[in-house]
Structure 1
Amino acid sequence: MSDASTALLTDQYELTMVDAALRAGTHDRPSVFEAFARRLPGARRYGVLAGTGRLLELIERFRFEEAELSWLREHHIVSEATLDWLADYRFSGSIHGYREGEVFFPGSPLLVVEAGFAEAVVLETLILSVLNYDSAVATAAARMVSAAGGRPLAEMGSRRTGERSAVAAARAAYIAGFSATSNIEAGRTWGVPTMGTAAHSFTLLHDTEEQAFRAQVEALGTGTTLLVDTYDVSRAVETAVRVAGTGLGAVRIDSGDLPEQVAAVRAQLDSLGATETRITVTSDLDEYTIAAMAASPVDSFGVGTSVVTGSGSPASGMVYKLVARQDAAGEWISVAKRSALKGTVGGRKFPVRQLVDGVATAEVIHVGHAEHDGRELLVPLVVDGAVERQHLGAEGTRAAREHRAAAVAELPPEAARLSRGEPVLPTVYV
């Protein structure tokens, strides 16, 4: 992972607010900010939080080095006094949040940042850009995992998003239950299992389909996956089994009427004695097309565009709001936005997941006081400026994946519905 500064991955008004607060002498007022979603995009039943581990690494690198300071000075973004303050910036506050992989609902305080106003507000854009995208991908991916009914899915959308977003998407999909990714950097950085064999261009490179299959089998072994829809699927399946034998690992279908095509290929493979050869399908899949193949003899799915774009909801609708601060006398006061349709609930929050016989029944958010009448949802992420290391890297990614499985398992059965509707759990403030 690069050590490059992340300080300019932000909006200008974060820095101009710091500039004005410094001038007013209010920049270091102790404050509490929250990141939350007002509603679930796409009228989905629940959201899946992803991006926390990535975010913590980016916060560690949120430093204004000479290159960043020089650019800000040259373009007259803030005053010299503010540049001096930024030069010494190191986040020294504390952050609590939902575990990565946790399910969430409208109003869930997913990230609670406690620090001086300037220290906390300057992180807003970074926090939202990471959590909004990664959680959108994870939420869509979780729906696909549910629709797949236990059959493995591979993320293969790198060519449908930005090069850095592709890595983030692969990680988020893995946390949500995908089993692998085509993206190599996601494997190196985050420990996500990688996969991949050949595209249609490899078949077209060779004089015959048989030559292409032989070259691939010689390089990757008979356990490989052969792509069989470049020309004629039935003829390709016959050639694939003849070349690799009945021990061929899998065939991939990337076009056509998939349910009909899969049934025909399964029958043909069985008739050729390749009863253990698996069938994987790709071809612009989403949760709905995956669900439509529930009765088809598909063994695995590969998903690209839909998962990296959040399957129609590319952002999670999260916002970052000041909910409490100290006044000039040092007393804590709750603050909230009152505008129509965008109001907020002030006060420090302590959320719990209410459970009955192991099944979640409500998201209960205690305002201004901590209670213990359910599964506590906030965990420490940063304590006095020090990041809790267990949330980082490949280890943190695997832990998030495991937690996602446990959190989804707590939800009532209607959480698996793909139709638009109300959140599966109510959010209750007490």
Structure 2
Amino acid sequence: MPTTALLTDHYELTMLRAALRDGTAHRRSVFELFPRRLPPGRRYGVVAGVGRALRALRHFRFDEETIRFLRDRDVVDDETAGWLADYRFGGSIWGYPEGEVYLPGSPLVVVDGSFAECVLLETVLLSIYNHDSAIASAASRMTVTAGDRPCIEMGSRRTQELSAVAAARAAYIAGFQATSNLEAGRRYGVPTTGTAAHSFTLLYDDEESAFAAQLAAMGEQTTLLVDTYDVFQAVRTGVRLTEGRLGAVRLDSGDLGLLAQQVRELLDSLGATKTKIIVTSDLDEYTIAALSGAPVDGYGVGTALVTGSGHPTCGFVYKLVARATSPDRDAELISVAKKSKDKISIGGRKFALRRLSDAGVAEAEVIGIGEPPAGDANDRPVLVPLVDRGEIVGEEPLSASRERHFRSRAELPIEALKMSRGEPVIDTVYLDHGRAAASPYRSKENRS
């Protein structure tokens, strides 16, 4: 993998250059990546991109070609170029593990090191987390609405090519069963699937010839796209060619609910009672919900998924929340926070706890400032180590992230699963060294 060091903004290096000159670059600093709010109407979000971020960190190196590019454009001076040539992140990072649910104010990533080594990671971390978490958050709403009916990711043609690969990965974490994107299969092990488009049918002189060719190549359990011409005639042809053993038909246009009902009745009347019905065509969580009563066996989702179903970014920010008073190793660490109106930041290094009821239902996101909050036996800390003094320790199989998401989502109150607009499903509560502190993230529904 090539270096990821230039997946950043110019001003990161401008700050580094200035801070190196006067020595402040070496002050210990704590940065946090967090959401100020959820997208309007959403009740929870889903963390994704952790594995990709750790992979990017491993390759965050300033090689000779990269430094030459920066010097040629006077982005860095000789001192900064020399420092970058030896750059290796040597600090520690904690974060919400992949697949975990998050709420407003959740400290999703806590980065502890020198200002110089931490500030360089801002853009690459934000770009990965903002994109992948937006996809996973939308995917979670879709899969919870679909219930036990499988969802397939098929949005590669509706987004930038590398974003499509990341989107397939994020969707899989949040419960999608497969993707049409082969690079996601090769790179991340996401199961892949696919059959044929309308162009395949149009290639042949008639629909029967096209179906016969696909069946000969793929077998009777393949899925036939039946709405190129006449849906009902296509269904009859597919059933006849397989003697009722056709795996599935796909509907890609029209009134999907009504059409699925009519096709189901036709299939059953022809004896193809085990043939499944897959629907596609601009689906999102709301259309999936509307189809819950229809005889549909699976969904293929594209555009809405890879664009975050109307919210293509999570609005995460990366802020300095604590810094040392000098570059000395034992210098005091003090809280810092910007005071901009409507852009809330809370100073101090954070710790996170998911407060659970005796029944195991999430009740609050408890954020400790300066020290971990105390919890009962059934509460659980949310932050886990991702990097320990420069060594990456938080990598895990994608299957583990996927299973974590199911567990985390199952902890939420039932209101979280509603498709109607609402406030965050649980409050975010702050404790400053063990004492209650004002929280800007309490939902309107829960404020007294």
Deviation digits for residues 73-100 of structure 1 (CA, Å, limit 9, x no counterpart): 1111111110111111111111000010
Q: Contact 2:154–2:302 (CA<8 Å) still a contact in 1?
A: yes
Task: Give 1:389 shift.
Answer: 5.5
Alpha-carbon separation, structure 2, partners of 1:67 and 1:274: 62
Name the structure 2 match of 1:346.
Answer: 347
Alpha-carbon separation, structure 1, partners of 2:423 and 2:290: 23
Query: Alignment partner for residue 244 of structure 2, among 239, 243, 246?
Result: 246
Task: State the secondary structure of the residue aligned to 2:235.
Answer: helix
Is 1:386–2:391 an aligned residue pair?
yes
Task: State the secondary structure of the residue aligned to 2:354.
Answer: strand
Alpha-carbon separation, structure 2, partners of 1:66 and 1:200: 49
Q: Contact 2:227–2:251 (CA<8 Å) still a contact in 1?
A: yes
Question: Percent identity over the alignment?
Answer: 61
Name the structure 2 match of 1:411.
Answer: 412
Deviation digits for residues 343-379 of structure 1 (CA, Å, limit 9, x no counterpart): 2111111110000010000000011111340210000
Name the structure 2 match of 1:96.
Answer: 94
Deviation digits for residues 208-255 of structure 1 (CA, Å, limit 9, x no counterpart): 100000000000000000000000000000001011221111000000
Query: Alignment partner for residue 30 of structure 1, among 25, 28, 31?
Result: 28
Query: Alignment partner for residue 366 of structure 1, among 368, 386, 403?
Result: 368
Alignment of 1:30-179 (within 5 A): 30-179=28-177
Deviation digits for residues 50-91 of structure 1 (CA, Å, limit 9, x no counterpart): 000001000100001111111111111111110111111111
Deviation digits for residues 91-140 of structure 1 (CA, Å, limit 9, x no counterpart): 11110000100000000000000010010010000000000000000000
Alpha-carbon separation, structure 2, partners of 1:307 and 1:210: 33
Q: Contact 1:46–1:415 (CA<8 Å) still a contact in 2?
A: yes
Task: Give 1:420 shift.
Answer: 1.7
Deviation digits for residues 245-286 of structure 1 (CA, Å, limit 9, x no counterpart): 211110000000100000000000000000000000000000
Query: Alignment partner for residue 278 of structure 2, among 261, 277, 280?
Result: 280
Alpha-carbon separation, structure 2, partners of 1:252 and 1:245: 18
Alpha-carbon separation, structure 1, partners of 2:424 and 2:373: 23
Task: Give 1:310 shift.
Answer: 0.1
Task: State the secondary structure of the residue aligned to 1:18.
Answer: helix
Task: State the secondary structure of the residue aligned to 2:195.
Answer: coil
Query: Alignment partner for residue 185 of structure 2, among 171, 184, 187?
Result: 187
Q: Contact 2:54–2:395 (CA<8 Å) still a contact in 1?
A: no
Please tell me the root mean square deviation across aligned C-alpha atoms, in Å.
0.8
Name the structure 1 match of 2:19.
Answer: 21
Alpha-carbon separation, structure 2, partners of 1:388 and 1:135: 21
Q: Contact 2:36–2:344 (CA<8 Å) still a contact in 1?
A: no
Deviation digits for residues 289-347 of structure 1 (CA, Å, limit 9, x no counterpart): 00000100000000000000000000001000000111027001000111111121111
Q: Contact 2:366–2:373 (CA<8 Å) still a contact in 1?
A: no
Query: Alignment partner for residue 267 of structure 1, among 249, 265, 268?
Result: 265
Alpha-carbon separation, structure 2, partners of 1:341 and 1:96: 27
Alpha-carbon separation, structure 2, partners of 1:403 and 1:108: 17
Task: Give 1:151 shift.
Answer: 0.6
Alpha-carbon separation, structure 2, partners of 1:221 and 1:66: 53
Alpha-carbon separation, structure 1, partners of 2:344 and 2:275: 56
Name the structure 1 match of 2:445.
Answer: none
Q: Contact 1:222–1:245 (CA<8 Å) still a contact in 2?
A: no
Amino acid at match of 2:333: W
Q: Contact 2:51–2:395 (CA<8 Å) still a contact in 1?
A: no
Alpha-carbon separation, structure 2, partners of 1:362 and 1:47: 14
Alpha-carbon separation, structure 1, partners of 2:27 and 2:382: 27
- The count of residues paired between Structure 1 and Structure 2 equals 424
Q: Contact 1:42–1:312 (CA<8 Å) still a contact in 2?
A: no
Alpha-carbon separation, structure 2, partners of 1:31 and 1:95: 12
Segments of 5+ residues of structure 2 without an aligned counterpart are 432-448
Q: Contact 1:140–1:307 (CA<8 Å) still a contact in 2?
A: yes
Alpha-carbon separation, structure 1, partners of 2:324 and 2:412: 38
Which has the higher mean CA deviation after the structures are superposed, 24-33 or 324-333?
Answer: 324-333
Task: State the secondary structure of the residue aligned to 2:373.
Answer: coil
Task: Give 1:398 shift.
Answer: 1.1
Name the structure 2 match of 1:303.
Answer: 301
Task: State the secondary structure of the residue aligned to 2:74.
Answer: coil
Alignment of 1:172-251 (within 5 A): 172-251=170-249
Is 1:332–2:333 an aligned residue pair?
yes
Alpha-carbon separation, structure 2, partners of 1:247 and 1:426: 52
Q: Contact 2:387–2:394 (CA<8 Å) still a contact in 1?
A: no
Task: Give 1:148 shift.
Answer: 0.7
Task: Give 1:388 shift.
Answer: 1.4
Amino acid at match of 1:284: D
Query: Alignment partner for residue 376 of structure 1, among 373, 381, 384?
Result: 381
Alpha-carbon separation, structure 1, partners of 2:148 and 2:118: 41
Name the structure 1 match of 2:444.
Answer: none
Segments of 5+ residues of structure 1 without an aligned counterpart are none
Amino acid at match of 2:385: P
Alpha-carbon separation, structure 1, partners of 2:239 and 2:204: 18
